[in-house]
Amino acid sequence: MVVPSIPQRALPPELVIDNPLPQQNIFQRAVASLRGGDAEVAARISLEGLQQYPDDANLLCIAARALIALGRLDEARMHAQRAQTEYPDFYLAHETLGELLLVEGRFEEAIKSFEEGLKLNRDASQIKQKIARARELKHEADEAGGSRVVMAFAEDIARAEQLLSDGQPQQAEQIFRTVLRQDPNHVEAMRLLADIARSQEYYDDAELLLKQAVAKAPTYARAWLKLSETQLQLEKNFEAVDSARKVVELAPEFAESHIALANALAKVDRMDEAIENYEAALAASPRHPGAFSGLAHQLKTVGRQTESIAVYRQSIAVNPRSTESYWSLANFKTFRFRDEEVEAMESLLRDDKLEDINRVQLCNSLGLEYEGRKDYERAFHYFQRCNSTRRKAESYDPIANEVNTNKTIEIFDSAFLARHANLGNPDPAPLFIVGLPRSGSTLLEQILASHSQVEGTHELTDLARTIRNLSRRGKRLQYPEIVSGLAPAAWQKIGSQYLESTAKYRSGLPCFIDKNPNNFSYIGLICLALPKAKIVNAMRHPLDSCLGSYKQLFASGQPFSYDLTDIGEYYLQYQRLMAHWHQTLPGRVLDVNYEEVVDDLEGQVRRLLAYCELPFEESCLNFHETDRAIKTASSEQVRQPIYSSSRHLWRHYEPYLGELIDILEPLLLPLPPESRPDSLREASHVP
């Protein structure tokens, strides 16, 4: 529930902020109680407050909402109608009355009330959602002659929705299931139950419920929207596009409809259409931060850098606290902020009310900016601030990672690999690029994707999903243990499933690239399921590789990357596993060192193409001229000719990397003296 923080009949805003009114404190206490799931307390606080301040608009609205949650609709109506009558220019008064009318099943009147609220607050996305919901319920009731049971259950649904918003999903789920037992066709209960399943990551269950809902009510735009979002979570991207098109067809006036379609189109690499729909979203809602962000990101992906930067800056101008836009600009890597933009970011950081996600985005942006200005001490300060905050939000267990590495090495031993060799699908099309993030994999992908026989399909998750499905069928056993009991025919099936799953990303070229770096864990499985596949391991100086991950704020995944100790230990496990693959699968994996590519581009390109059994093409040397969508953080870097400025970048940060150097010492000592940290420069490696 979104509520304003300033009463309508109050002192000037600047005075309210500096010296909160007593009724504002009462209002905030009532809001906190209602959000905490205690509608009784919220009603008591707000009603007592109205005895002292009977003309306060906010208290009238929060009292009405608390009474609605309690089912005391007559009392709620008195307060909601008074708020709307006395404060006709207060959007929340119209919104609150609309909620009451919706609960009462008076859908047409609810729509009118919501629309009045929307006229007064065009950016209130929650009102738009409520209008859509009211229209859907009205349509459903009209189809049933107005006698549908959905009206009888309106109060139950409203109570359950309040429980859901107050963080009590189990109680809400019980109500929704009770409603569905009495009315199996109640589509609103289906959608809300699907929301609970989605929140618990039961996406298959959510999809099933939502498909039932849209089958029962084909014009239920909100259910189609949730279905599209769920299908994206399940990586059923093309199905998500179809569902999102239905949303736009049913509710073209809402920005969220176009954003849903744009998000899905971007997933299937239909960038131009995605851009058109983000623009349509901004036309519908000119201040929508999600539309700005999506549009700018897609422009960046297709190489329209100048336009992308302009959109991000426009987003900041409209939404000055849009920290994601600052972060996205910093992620161009080649971009430099203006001094006034740096000052604005540092000013925002001084705001104690700033949420952690905004804080980490700003700190990462400032770290990258000061690195660009060669102020490495200040850059590291901001990287460290970013990561210390982000690490608290991540769930990463380095011991579990080491245990999993041990299991992988134990199971995929030489005997196991030999026993199951040549049982998989022999298609030679896949080219896997693996390694750690920020180790040159995007550069290798761009080089290979510049070849006439190779298609770049980005970082695919199909292999990991195939393995998850394998583990799910094994019930108690997970990967890698699950592979021990596989029948010989299973390897062919795994390879075929992967190829079928990835076929939708391809246009018919003989080879395609899967650039998911985390696939290094699955090399043994790849070699058995796809025995003709090529695997390239992108490598870099250990300190540059680890520092690159530490400096990168990932939108999701890579939870090991926010602590130098975690990164160092993860790198050791990665090296252990790669050494195992080289020992047990000699010649199957090609290591390509970033520094060697920088020093000898043509020689390394010829070596790479020879391993992939591809003829040499000059276009691979001119990779920066290849026009293709690039989705990773290195997109702008690989659109330039090869450069060496990021080689041995770690030296600028060496004073701050002591713990990382200590962990990586076994790998650093064998390097030539000039490639070792100063603390190890004089040390010699004894085999």
- For 431-449, give the DSSP string: EEEEE-TTSSHHHHHHHHH
Separation of alpha carbons 441 and 558, rounded Å? 15
Strand partners, 538: 435, 592
Placement of tokens 């609960």 in the chain: 103
The span from the CA of 384 to the CA of 191, in Å, is 42
**Measured between alpha carbons, how far is 546 from 438 in angstroms, rounded to an integer?**
8
Which residues touch 678 (CB under 8 Å, ≥6 apart)? 654
What length is written for the chain? Answer: 687
The per-residue pLDDT for 340 is 96
pLDDT of residue 333: 74
The CA-CA-CA angle for residues 331, 332, 337, to 5°, reads: 90
Residue 178's CB is within 10 A of a number of other CB atoms, namely 14
**At 420, phi and psi to the nearest 5?**
-110, 15
Structure letter (DSSP) for residue 530: S
Question: Across the 687 residues of the chain, what is the mean pLDDT of every consecutive 10-residue run?
Answer: 31 32 84 78 90 91 87 84 91 91 82 91 80 77 48 69 76 86 83 88 91 87 91 91 93 87 92 93 87 91 89 92 91 89 96 91 96 96 96 92 96 97 96 93 92 89 87 72 92 96 89 95 97 97 95 89 96 97 98 94 96 95 68 44 71 96 95 90 55
| Phi-psi label, residue 626: left if phi above 0, alpha if psi -120 to 50, beta otherwise | beta
Contact call for residues 553 and 360 (beta carbons, < 8 A):
yes
In sequence order, what DSSP letters do the residues of 543-587 get, joined into one string? Answer: HHHHHHHHH---SSS-GGGGSHHHHHHHHHHHHHHHHHHHHHSTT
What pLDDT, on the 0 to 100 scale, is given for residue 435?
A: 95
Four-point Cα dihedral 295, 300, 302, 307, nearest 10:
70
**One-letter identity of residue 607:** R
pLDDT at residue 66 in the model:
87
Q: Is the dihedral of CA 667, 546, 334, 278 positive or negative?
A: positive
DSSP line for 472-490: HHTTT--TTGGGGG--HHH
* DSSP-derived 3-state class of residue 198: helix
Handedness of CA 270, 231, 292, 340 (dihedral sign): negative
Q: Domains (ranges, CATH) in the chain?
A: 1-152 (1.25.40.10), 398-640 (3.40.50.300)
Q: Quick check: 431 and 529 in contact, CB under 8 A?
A: no
- Residue 402, CB half-sphere, CA atoms under 13 Å: how many? 8
Q: What pTM, to 2 d.p., does this model score?
A: 0.71
Q: At what angle do helices 237-250 and 221-233 cross, to 10 degrees?
A: 160
d(CA 176, CA 173): 5
- Taking the C-alpha atoms of residue 532 and residue 281, their distance in angstroms, rounded to an integer, is 45
Starting at the earlier edge strand, list the strands of the sheet with 534-539.
Answer: 454-456, 511-514, 430-435, 534-539, 589-593
What SS3 class is residue 536? strand
The position carrying tokens 């998911």 is 516
pLDDT at 173: 87
Return the SS3 of 517.
helix
- Give me the torsion for CA of 203, 205, 206, 211, rounded to 10°: 120
> What is the rounded distance in angstroms from the CA atom of residue 687 to the CA atom of residue 682?
16
C-alpha span between 164 and 191 (Å, rounded): 13
- Residue 176, pLDDT score: 86
548-591-455 Cα angle (round to 5): 85
Q: Please name which of 60, 109, 106, 55 lies closest in space to residue 80, comparing C-alpha atoms.
A: 60
- 3-class state of residue 79 by DSSP: helix
**Tokens at 203, concatenated:** 């996406």
Hey, what are 437's tokens? 């993030």
Q: What is the pLDDT of residue 47?
A: 92
The number of beta carbons lying within 10 Å of the beta carbon of residue 662 is 14
Q: What share of the chain is helix, strand, coil (3-state, %, to 5)?
A: 65, 5, 30
Return phi, psi of residue 149, to 5°: -65, -20
Q: How far apart are CA 654 and CA 660, in angstroms?
A: 10
How far from the centroid of its chain's Cα atoms is residue 661's Cα? 32
